Structure 1
Amino acid sequence: MRILLTGSSGWLGRFLAPMLRARGEEVVGLDVAPGAETDVIGSVADRPLIDRVFADHRIEAVIHAGALHKPDIVRYPAQRFIEVNVTGTLNLLEAALAAGHDRFVFTSTTSLMISQVIRDEAGPAAVWLDEAAGPLAPRNIYGVTKLTAEGLCRLFHRQHGLSSVVLRTARFFPEEDDTLDQLPGENLKANEFLNRRLTVEDCARAHLAALDRARGLGFDLFVVSAPTPFDRSETAALKTDAAAVIARHFPQAPGLYAQRGWALPTSIGRVYDSARMERVLGFRCETDFAAILRALETGADMPFAHDPSYISPKER
């Protein structure tokens, strides 16, 4: 199958493209920046370019992972987010429809589920976030445009029958957090496997699962994150004494963290629940918080990427 992969030079693309090829797919990478997995340099906002790519490469399916992201808000105006994240998605959907496609996978984000109220974490309990969470009120242009693009995928299925799977991915970036700096970056990432992170490898594997299941699903949407060990009944305790809740699930965690000089979270304000992804899509992330603890126990490298020097290829 000839698959158009947008965002092929990005962090996800460099892992996803080899996985696709390893199982026999022909990958055509499209990105605004050059890269080892990129065949065509250009923007999804350029409709004539998209039409040429579909015609020249006889594209049969699309994985749309290219976008402007939250850190780009300080670098690009709002109009550019609309051009890339909304118009670019529309261009790809229309081209896929014209080509008679029966599968379209869209990389979205859990960020669009976070209103300013949720981000402020002022409530008495952690907020439980799954596919039914709402009403959605994205707090920035990134979230607004990604939510709009999700709506386009849903619309094209409803009006035209194009099978579309939307993956709301949690955090998998390798660089330092651009807003949280209370803990060292590797410690922070390890903690987030409790409630809001996955590895880039698992993120890529989720896209393969979505591609395989798209025909049978028609349209569907999934939260993609490492499985949380927590239960909805623990949300109040997670907010007031997260370390105690973690210790109940993982009695070895406090000691292993102390040996590393790390700190467990004292309060958790939100939890992403990916149970439906496992139940309906048939995919479960391989790396979870238990894997973090096994690495600490054995002295192995952390099973996730941490690179404070990472810079997006488009910004180099």
Structure 2
Amino acid sequence: MHVLLTGSSGWLGRFLAPMLRAAGHAVTGLDVAPGRGTDIIGSVADRALIDRAFAERGIEAVIHGGALHKPDIARYPAQAFIGVNVTGTRNLLEAAVAAGHDRFVMTSTTSLMISQAVRDEAGDAAVWLDEQSGPLEPRNIYGVTKLAAEGLCRVQQLEQGIGCTILRTARFFPEDDDTDASLSGQNLKANEFLHRRLTVEDAARAHLVALERTPPARCETYLVSAPTPFCREDAIELKRDAAAVIARHFPEAAELYARRGWQLPASIGRVYDAGLAQRQMGFRCATAFAAILTALANDAAMPFIHDADYVSPAVQS
């Protein structure tokens, strides 16, 4: 297929574009910033640009990874999020329907599932999050607009019959967490593979699988995260004494962490369950927490990318 990949210069796009090509797909990359996988410089909010791209490039499917993200809240007004994340998604969906496409893949985010109550983690148990969790009450303009974009996908499926797959990806950014400096960046990322993170390579692979397996005339939503070792029955103890639960699953973890001078989480307040993607789409992240421990045991490089100095190409430009 000839795929239009939006956000092609971004962190996901730089891994996804070559993966698509290696799988035999032609790729036209579209982004507001230049990049190795980007052919068209411009915004998804520009409907005329989108229409030209479809007409001139023979686009057969869309992977919509372009968006303004949570860190952009400090740089752009709310209207910019609406223009890119909402209007841009509508432009692409309508162009795809007009072109007779049968599939559309959109990158969404688990962030829209985190209400203020979930964020506060004030309960006695870890919150178990999957595709049935709700009500959805995003706490910032990023989450609000991504939820609206998901709604547009569902409306286009209902009204026009196009198949859509929405991937609510957990964390895979390379930079440090701008809200948590309690641990080193690598330590924090390693911990998150227990309950709320995946590698960028796995995020890209999920999109490739979604492209090839999007069901006709349906709209499906999948949470995508590294497989958690925990189950719902662990939720109370995870909140009270996460180290004890981790020790049952990974007896060697505490010693391996101590060698590196790292800390395991004392409490885990939320867990992302990506089981539905495996059951329905046949996708499971290749990298899980066990790979972190293997790397520690072998004094090897971590199986994820950490780059404290990473800056989005859109910001650099």
Q: TM-score, normalised by structure 1?
A: 0.99
Moved more, 239-248 or 211-220: 211-220
Match of 1:16 in 2: 16
Partner-residue secondary structure (3-state), 1:209: helix
Aligned to 1:155: 155
Partner residue, 2:259: 259
Runs of 4 or more off by more than 3 Å in structure 1? none
Match of 1:292 in 2: 292
For normalisation by structure 2, the TM-score amounts to 0.99
Q: Does 1:139 align with 2:113?
A: no
* Map of 1:206 onto structure 2: 206
The DSSP-based 3-state class of the residue aligned with 1:51 is helix
Aligned equivalent of 2:120: 120
Shift of 1:143: 0.3
Shift of 1:289: 0.3
User: Which residue pairs with 1:177 in the alignment?
Assistant: 177
SS of 1:215's equivalent in the other structure is coil
Aligned to 1:300, the other structure's residue is in SS state: coil
CA distance in 2 between partners of 1:195 and 1:211 (Å)? 26
Give the partner amino acid of 1:139.
Answer: R
Residue aligning to 1:223: 223
Residues 182, 217 of structure 1: alpha-carbon distance in 2 compared, 3 angstrom cutoff = farther
Report the Cα distance in structure 2 between the residues aligned to 1:67 and 1:243, rounded to whole angstroms. Answer: 36
Looking at structure 2, the residues matched to 198 and 39 of structure 1 have their Cα atoms a distance apart, in angstroms, of 28
Aligned to 1:35: 35
Aligned-partner Cα distance in 2 for 1:127–1:40: 42
Q: How many angstroms apart in 2 are the aligned matches of 1:121 and 1:281?
A: 30
Q: CA deviation at 1:300?
A: 1.2
Amino acid at match of 2:298: T
Match of 2:68 in 1: 68
> 2:57 aligns to what?
57
Q: Indicate conservation of the 8 Å contact 2:125/2:235, yes or no.
A: yes
Shift of 1:192: 0.1
| Separation of aligned partners in 2, 1:108 and 1:307 | 23
Distance of 1:164 and 1:11 partners within structure 2 = 23
Q: Secondary structure at the match of 2:105?
A: strand
Distance in 1 (alpha carbons) for counterparts of 2:2 and 2:100: 13
What is the CA deviation profile of residues 26-70 of structure 1, one whole-angstrom value per residue up to 9, with x for unaligned ones? 100000000000000000000000000000101000000000000
1:217 CA drift (Å): 7.1
Unaligned runs of 5+ in 1: none
Residues 162 and 217, structure 2, Cα contact 8 Å, conserved in 1 = no
Structure 2 CA distance for aligned equivalents of residues 217 and 201 of structure 1: 28
* Shift, 1:23, TM fit: 1.3
Counterpart position of 1:107: 107
Contact 2:161/2:217 (8 A) holds in 1: no
Letter in 1 for 2:310: Y
**2:283 matches 1:283:** yes
Gaps of 5+ in 2: none
Whole-angstrom CA distance in 1 between matches of 2:113 and 2:248: 28
Amino acid across the alignment from 2:138 = P
- How far 1:89 sits from its partner (Å)? 0.1
Shift of residue 215 of structure 1? 3.1
Pairs aligned (count)? 316
Distance in 2 (CA, whole Å) between partners of 1:38 and 1:116 is 37
Aligned-pair distance for 1:252?
Answer: 0.2
Rounded to whole Å, the distance in 1 between the matches of 2:229 and 2:217 is: 27
- Tell me the amino acid that sits aligned with residue 268 of structure 2: I
Query: In the superposition, relative to structure 1, how do residues 75 and 287 fare at CA in structure 2: closer, same or farther (>3 Å)?
Result: same
Contact 2:102-2:216 within 8 A present in 1 as well? no
Q: How much does 1:216 deviate?
A: 4.5
